[in-house]
Structure 1
Amino acid sequence: MKILKFGGKSLANGKGIEAVINIIENKVKNREDITVVLSARGNATDELEEILDKAVKNQEYQGQLEAFKEYQASDFSGVDFTKEFETLDKLFEGVSLLGDYSKRIKDQILSQGEVISAKLITQILKEKNIKAHFTDSRELIITDGQFGDAQPLDKLSKENVINHFQKYNGDTVNIVTGFIASNTKNETTTLGRNGSNYTASLLANYLEAEELQSFTHVNGIYTANPDLVPEAKKIEKLSFTEANELAYFGANILHAKTIIPLIEKNIPLRILNTFDHENQGTLITGEASEKGIKSLSVLENVALINLEGRGLLGRVGVDARIFKALANKNISVSIISQGSSERGIGFVVEADKAKEAKSILEQEFESDFYKRDVSGITIEEAVSVISIIGQDLSTFHKPYNALIKNQVVPLLFNNTVTGKNVSLVVRKEQLHRALNVIHGEIFEISKKINVAIFGHGLVGGTLVDQILKSREQIESRKKIKLNIFAIANSSKILLNANGVDQNWKNDITKKGVSYTINEVIKFADDNHLENLIAIDNTASQKFTENYISLVESGFDLVSSNKVANTLSFDFYKKIRIKLEENQKQYLYETNVGAGLPLIDTIKLLHLSGENITRIKGVFSGSLSYLFNTFSVEERPFSEVLQEAIDKGYTEPDPREDLCGNDVGRKLLILARELDLSNEFEDINIHNLIPEPLRKGESKEFLEKLTELDKVYEKVKQEQNPDHVLRYIGDLWGDLSQEKGNLDVKLVSVPKSSALGQVKGSDSIFEIYTESYGDQPIVIQGAGAGAAVTARGVFGDILRLAERG
């Protein structure tokens, strides 16, 4: 025989009822020997509790009760629910008049949901000429006298079940009410919430069934709740031990008590989807499955209680007093953690028992409060418990560090004696993000990186296209899933929690909305996005004012915008302090040298204790092209400059390049990487623009380019033989002091030197150190261009993704 159990969602009106009937009908046609156990239909139990709550408060409940009846009876005119509905009317009326009810009355009320469900399915099957027998489990399962969570009396119950099935067997399908039972006085009791599973497993045990099939609305047990973790995967097979752990730690698809009767007789349990007949579900057996982490379970509707007191340090018996006092009032405790320096005990109880638990403990420790041995008993109400089933404590640092990186700080955690399960208490508003972060770390799935890109001009737009083009390959190779959830310019933003696609340019025009940075942060929070990175591809000083808010809200930063690193030294240090406080990172390799690995190299040398004595080089790809070409070709300076403008090497107003400020900012960034406290005002900058041409509109300047020819032809002619012109940045002096010397200037260098051999728009950097002496470390390559810069930003994103 197989026991089939159907949950409330499977029995909802419409497709639910149809699917359940089809499953039973097909098994009967295939001559399978089956017994069916049913929950109340839809949300019947919750609705009855809500109506009860209204009735006891003397609130209007009749409307909701009539709606309940309508739902249960609609489309099923052939079934007579008069007895059940009259029972409900009578009980609710009595509760309303008295303003009170007992657990016995509550069990009588809640039992009607299962009775209605079983009567309905029995009648529908009979109408299809299937022999079905309505079986009231109150005549089978006998329990102790505890209402609300009764315990079965096995000997009596087993005798009743065996006798019943000897009478109704063969081709008769018994349709059994789950959840409900009766005590020895023939009073209705219930087996606790989700007790229908327990009813089914008891029948399986007593009848020594071949298999228990539990039909739900999902395809089985998953590595996490798919509603909370979209990346969750179905588990094909579990052992009873693992299933028991999952049930204990809150997997709502299982009932902790369900497993035990099955273990006793080694009866397999299969979790199946009522609405997907092709899926084989999750099979739970006595066989040990492969080792490793199996699932994340969640306990909600819980509260965390903390008891603290310096005077309790080293005091024997404090724990026993806590748990005994609570046990005497039937309050169960789970997830316990103790402090050591200042005596503290934290533990989890059901949310609706938290205030009562606090009151009990205040009475128990009244004298300790008076002596000031106990300093306080507090309740954290909005919390949830995440349990990682199968988590070895030796590898727990990975998910824990990922949580901290995403600004989820567990309030409490503990592990089992075996060291194979770890439980965390987190704030309820962080539950969704915490689950996704942990799941991404411990299962072999791609780690999701959520990216917001501010600025989609040449560099930003190229970056978006590079990411969209490469993300599938990166996910396949690196197990990193890049998700661009925001693209913004100065006025509009395109937001999509599931990521933008190749139509982003058109979408931002049509669907873009105005925004503030706080709205972007809220969007990330509301959608529980983890592993956040903000990319600044603007050239805006105003946008840098958002950096600290972003960092405090859990974003790492990547920037091609040089402004933040060249503002006041106080601001520079403030950002670093905030980064450290929030354990976030800020990468900006493209601030100097576009995609060249310059800043990382200097950081590594400086961190290792290498004494850097000088850094000099050609910092600007635009000016590199200008003077490389002018130095070797017999052409006027204005003609070469116009060519650089036409090729897009310079800014639209080339004075922004020629004034030297851009090179100065880059040089200042390198100085600050060496912990020098220089300000921009400390830089000696040779402005390449003659004084009369520095003011006025860009158009006027472009019309007067030929006025530069005499100036630079003279400079060119005054050089020594075999020399060329280079516009360089030079950081020098005693760099172990508070400040260094920073010069930006036009120099003449031998053609044969490293600086003299630079071609095209390449940049070159010479790093002199104490160890390397006169032989500098040379870094050379493309120093300009949207594609190169975007690729450098892309590299910073991937570095952050892999470090996290």
Structure 2
Amino acid sequence: MKILKFGGKSLANGEGLQKVIQTIAQKYFNNEPIAVVVSARGNATDELVILLKKAQANINFQADFEQFKKYQLEGLKENIFEEEFSVLQKLLEGVSLLGDYSDKIKDQVIAFGEILSAKYVSYVLNENSIKAQFTDSRQLIKTDINFGNAQPIDAVSKRNVLDYFEKNTDKVNIVTGFIGSTLHNETTTLGRNGSNYTASLLANYLNAEEFQNYTHVDGIFTANPDLVADAKKIERLSFNEANELANFGAQILHAKTIIPLVEKNIPLRILNTFNPENDGTLITSEQTNEGIKSLSVLTNVSLINLEGRGLLGKTGVDARIFRVMAENDISVSIISQGSSERGIGLVVNSDKASKALVGLEKEFENDFYTKDVNKISVNDNIAVISIIGQDLTNFHKPYTALIRNKITPILLNNTVTGRNISLIISQDEFKRALNVIHGEIFGVAKKINIAIFGHGTVGGTLISQILESAKNIEKRKGIKLNVFAIANSKKVLFNKFGISENWKATLEDKGQDYKVEDVIAYAKEHHLENLIAIDNTASSTFIENYISLAENSFDLISSNKVANTVSYDFYKKLRKVLKDNQKEYLYETNVGAGLPLIDTIKLLHLSGENITKIKGVFSGTLSYLFNNFSVENKKFSEVLQEAIDKGFTEPDPREDLNGNDVGRKLLILARELDLQNEFEEIQIQNLIPEPLREGSATDFLKRLSELDGIYQNIKDAQGPNEVLRYIGELSGDLHQDKGKLEVKLISVPANSALGSLKGSDSIFEIYTESYGEQPIVIQGAGAGASVTARGVFGDILRLSEKKL
């Protein structure tokens, strides 16, 4: 025989109830011997409790009761519950008159949930030509008088079950779960997970072939699928592992459910009523491979802290604490104890926390007077995440992932077996913490959640590059890039599962007004981990958001140079915030677009290499301009117009020609060497004659020919085989606080490294003590949206790999 148990969601009106009937019918017509245990249908138990409380408070409950009856009768041809509804009505009226109710009365009331459910299923089965029989477990399961959490009297219950099933073999017995009765036939309930307990007791007494527990999920998962979208089904577990899961809060299991099965070695299979083709999770006595099995969560718990320096070294303190717990019938799920400064943390159910606090304050009243105890407090804003199967050898991985995501556990606890670790987390952070830990332990790919600010030429290209490469990167690197937000200066588009290729049109149609705080709030609301914010704007004001982003778990990547070139005070403040919050800030594209320049300088500097000078052509636009003007027989204005036509310049070319962009890039490199220069201290040779510096861009473009004579004279004044280059140069005593920063137009030999530059390439010469007069040369494409976007993409991958 197989014992089938159906939960409340499975038995709810509609699809669930239909699936239950179909499942029973299939087994019945296949001649499989079965017995069925049912829970209360839908939310019946909660609704009955609400009715009780309303009656107790003398609030009119009749409308709610009528709604309850209507739901319970839905789909029936006749009212088969007249007797039950009449008794329930009288019980509620009695509670209303008395203004109170006992646990005994509560058990009588909530028992109707299972009674109505079993009668309903029996009736529908018989209507469908399936011989079924309502079986009241109060006749079978005899218990003590501990109303609300009664314990079965095993010998009597077993004899009752065997006798009953021996006499009733010709029908499918539909048994009420959760309820029993005392030896004097007073209704009792079996407490948490009571219907499962009823089913496991029947399986034990009847030596069942298998206990099949039908729920609304496909089995037991590596985490609650409602909380972790990437949770994976576990195919097999041992009873020991299942028991650990039950002890640490797995809702689908309870230790008392498992024990009767272990005694008879009866397999337990967790199945999905709504997906009957799925094999579910099978739990047997066979040991499975070692390793982490699942994450369990305890909510509705509180942390009680007892602190006292004066208790250090005193014996009997723990005994006093647990005596208080025992006297108040309070179970402690986790205890964490300090030694250097006496402190004890206890995790208890939240509904028992006040009672525990009062009991402990009374017990340690004298210790407060002697100042041996400083404080006893309760923290209700917690949850417990337990990693089942985790040992300390690899615990650093999920712990580091939490810290990297700015989640700090309040307390840690390791079991004696060393195979389970529990973390007490702030209630506000536990969902995100659960996703972070799950991703670290079970994730096939590390998920990186990205918010992109600015989707112009560089930003739009970057988005395209990510979408095109994402699947390949996930396959090769185990990194899943998920762009959850794209924003311009006014609107943002959110999608926690990642934006699609038509993001631009969607942003236009459905984008919403926003502040950066809304992006932060969205990430928190959806518990997104491994966050990166990318600034592809040119905004001088957006950088003010960097600090709040870093403080809220975002690493930063920027093609925007402003943050590194404003005041040195802001530069240092940002780096302090990054350090305090253990966040990274990458900006390789700030100088040299996609060239590995900043990383090279950082490594040289960190390794102790003394950099003596940096010189180079920093602007791809000006590289193109002077590379061509120096060797071609063309007017300066003609070459400049070519650069404009090719899209190499800004809309107003004076933004390139004034040298400020080169100056900012040079300042960024100086600050990488810990120099404290400000932008105003850079000596910049402005390539625009003063008469052309004012006015509109349109006017300037009309007057380009005015530049020809000036630059032809400079070109003619050069020596033989020399060419013009517009360079940035950092020199001076770089051991001091400040260096000498210059941006200028110079002549160099045509056969030198600078002189041989072609096209719009950039080149950088890094001089060091070790290399002497032979510089390290980095050369390549230093401009262009595709190159810059690819450099930002490189920073994304660099950051992502650090999170592996």
* TM bracket (short chain): over 0.9
Tell me how far apart the structure 1 counterparts of residues 206 and 322 of structure 2 sit (CA, whole Å): 39
Unaligned runs of at least 5 residues, structure 2: none
Corresponding position of 1:673: 672
User: Is 1:442 aligned to 2:431, yes or no?
Assistant: no
Measure, in 2, the Cα distance between the counterparts of 1:532 and 1:450.
5
Identity percentage of aligned residues: 69
Instruction: Give the match for residue 12 of structure 1.
Output: 12
- Paired with 1:802 and 1:637, the residues of 2 have a C-alpha distance of 47
Q: Deviations over 1:316-370 (max 9, x none)?
A: 2222211121111100001211223322111211111111111111011111111
Give, in whole Å, the separation in 1 of the partners of 2:596 and 2:53: 67
1-structure distance, mates of 2:716, 2:703: 22
1:76-95 → structure 2 map (5 Å cutoff): 76-95=76-95
Structure 2 partner of 1:112: 112
Report which stretch shifted further, 408-417 or 218-227. 408-417
Q: SS where residue 764 of structure 1 aligns?
A: strand
User: Residues of 1 paired with 2:58 and 2:599: CA distance?
Assistant: 71
User: Could you tell me how far apart the structure 2 residues matched to 1:528 and 1:495 are?
Assistant: 14
Provide the residue aligned with 1:37 in structure 2: 37
2:133 and 2:172 in contact (8 A); partners too:
yes
Equivalent in the alignment of 2:744: 745
What is the alpha-carbon distance in structure 2 between the residues aligned to residue 315 and residue 802 of structure 1? 50
CA distances 1:72-105 after superposition (whole Å, capped 9, x unpaired): 1122133521222122112212222222211111
The answer on whether the counterparts of 2:193 and 2:257 sit within 8 Å (CA) in structure 1 is no
Q: Which moved more, 1:714-723 or 1:733-742?
A: 714-723
User: Partners in 1 of 2:419 and 2:600 — Cα distance?
Assistant: 42
Q: By how many angstroms is 1:771 displaced?
A: 1.6
| Secondary structure in 1 matching 2:413 | strand
Partner of 1:233: 232
Instruction: Kindly report which structure 2 residues correspond to 1:533-548, keeping only aligned pairs within 5 A, or say none.
Output: 533-548=532-547
Higher mean C-alpha displacement, 441-450 vs 570-579? 441-450
Deviation, 1:128, is: 2.3
- Look up the equivalent residue of 1:34 and give its one-letter code: I
Q: Does 1:135 align with 2:126?
A: no
Cα distance in 2, alignment partners of residues 755 and 59 from structure 1: 89
Partner of 1:586: 585
| Counterpart residue type for residue 317 of structure 2 | V
Answer yes or no: is 1:795 the counterpart of 2:794.
yes
Amino acid at match of 2:247: Y
The yes-or-no answer on 1:304 pairing with 2:315 is: no
Q: Could you give the per-residue CA deviations for residues 124-181 of structure 1, whole angstroms, max 9, x where no partner exists?
A: 2222232222111111111122111111111111111111111112x32111111001
Q: Quote the offset at 1:683 in angstroms.
A: 0.6
How far apart are 1:314 and its partner, in Å? Answer: 2.2
CA contact (8 A) 1:79 1:119 kept: no
Q: For residue 11 of structure 1, give the secondary structure of its aligned residue in structure 2.
A: coil
Q: Is the 8 A contact 1:393 1:419 kept in 2?
A: yes
Q: Secondary structure at the match of 1:380?
A: strand
The CA distance in 2 between the partners of 1:699 and 1:70, in whole Å, is: 77
8 Å CA contact retained: 1:399, 1:438: yes
- The residue number in structure 2 matching 1:691 is 690
SS of the residue aligned with 1:392?
coil
In 1: Cα distance, 2:411 partner to 2:76 partner: 51
Question: C-alpha deviations, 1:462-484, integer Å up to 9, x for none?
Answer: 01111111111111111211111
The residue identity in structure 1 corresponding to 2:271 is: L
Q: Secondary structure at the match of 2:100?
A: coil
- Alpha-carbon offset, residue 589 of structure 1: 0.5
> 3-state DSSP class of the match of 1:101?
coil
Whichever residue aligns with residue 37 of structure 2, its letter is: V
Q: Distance in 1 between matches of 2:213 and 2:440?
A: 31
The residue that corresponds to 1:217 in the other structure is 216
Q: Which residue of 2 aligns with 1:786?
A: 785
Query: What amino acid maps onto 1:130 in structure 2?
Result: I
SS of equivalent residue, structure 1 residue 9: coil
2:300 is paired with a residue whose SS is strand
Q: Aligned residue for 1:653?
A: 652
- Once the two structures are superposed, residues 738-797 of structure 1 have per-residue CA deviations (whole angstroms, 9 ceiling, x without a partner) of 111111111111122111121111111111112222221111111000000001111111
The Cα offsets for residues 194-252 of structure 1, whole Å up to 9 and x where unpaired, read as 21000000110111100000001111111111111111111111111111111111111
> CA separation in 1, counterparts of 2:86 and 2:712?
107
Matched, 1:603 2:602: yes
Equivalents in 2 of 1:99, 1:803: separation in Å? 63
What secondary structure, in the 3-state scheme, does the structure 1 residue paired with 2:393 have? Answer: helix
* More deviation, 90-99/32-41: 90-99
Q: Which residue of 1 aligns with 2:612?
A: 613
Alignment of structure 1 residues 326-337 onto 2, 5 Å: 326-337=325-336
Deviation at 1:492, TM superposition (A): 1.8
Q: Kindly indicate whether the alpha-carbon contact (under 8 Å) linking 2:2 and 2:209 is maintained by their aligned counterparts in 1.
A: yes
In structure 2, the residue corresponding to 1:744 is in which secondary structure? strand
Unaligned runs of 5+ in 1: none
What residue identity is the alignment partner of 2:797? L
How many Å apart are 1:638 and its aligned residue? 0.9
- Paired residues in the alignment total 803
Moved more, 517-526 or 455-464: 517-526
The 3-state SS of whatever aligns with 1:357 is helix
SS of the residue 2:594 aligns to: coil
Q: Report the Cα distance in structure 1 between the residues aligned to 2:341 and 2:660, rounded to whole angstroms.
A: 56
In 1, distance between residues paired with 2:677 and 2:510?
Answer: 44
More moved, 204-213 vs 372-381? 372-381
Deviation of 1:308 after TM superposition, in Å, equals 1.1
- Do the aligned residues in 1 keep the contact of 2:722 with 2:755 (CA within 8 Å)? yes
Question: What is the Cα deviation at residue 62 of structure 1?
Answer: 2.1
- Take 2:801 and 2:278, find their aligned partners in 1: how far apart are those partners? 36
Aligned partners of 1:759 and 1:316: how far apart in 2?
82
What letter is aligned with 2:567? S
1:639 is matched with: 638
Distance 2:791 2:59 in 1: 66
**3-state DSSP of counterpart to 1:186:** coil
TM, length-normalised to structure 2: 0.98
Distance 1:305 1:438 in 2: 25
Q: Runs in 1 of length 4+ with deviation above 6 angstroms?
A: none
TM-score, normalised relative to structure 1: 0.98
**1:411 maps onto 2:415 in alignment:** no
- Partner Cα separation in structure 2 for residue 639 and residue 799 of structure 1: 42
Q: Identify which range, 196-205 or 11-20, moves more after superposition.
A: 11-20
- The 1:466–1:336 alpha-carbon spacing in structure 2 relative to 1, beyond 3 Å, is same
The aligned runs of 1:355-374 (5 Å cut-off) are 355-374=354-373
CA RMSD across the alignment: 1.2
1:359 & 1:84 partners in 2: Cα distance?
Answer: 41
How far, CA to CA, are the matches of 1:147 and 1:610 in structure 2?
Answer: 77
Write out per-residue CA displacement over residues 630-659 of structure 1, whole angstroms, 9 at most, x where no aligned residue: 111111111111101111111111110111
The aligned counterpart of 1:68 is: 68
Contact 1:79 1:120 in 2 (8 A): no
Report the Cα distance in structure 1 between the residues aligned to 2:434 and 2:455, rounded to whole angstroms.
32
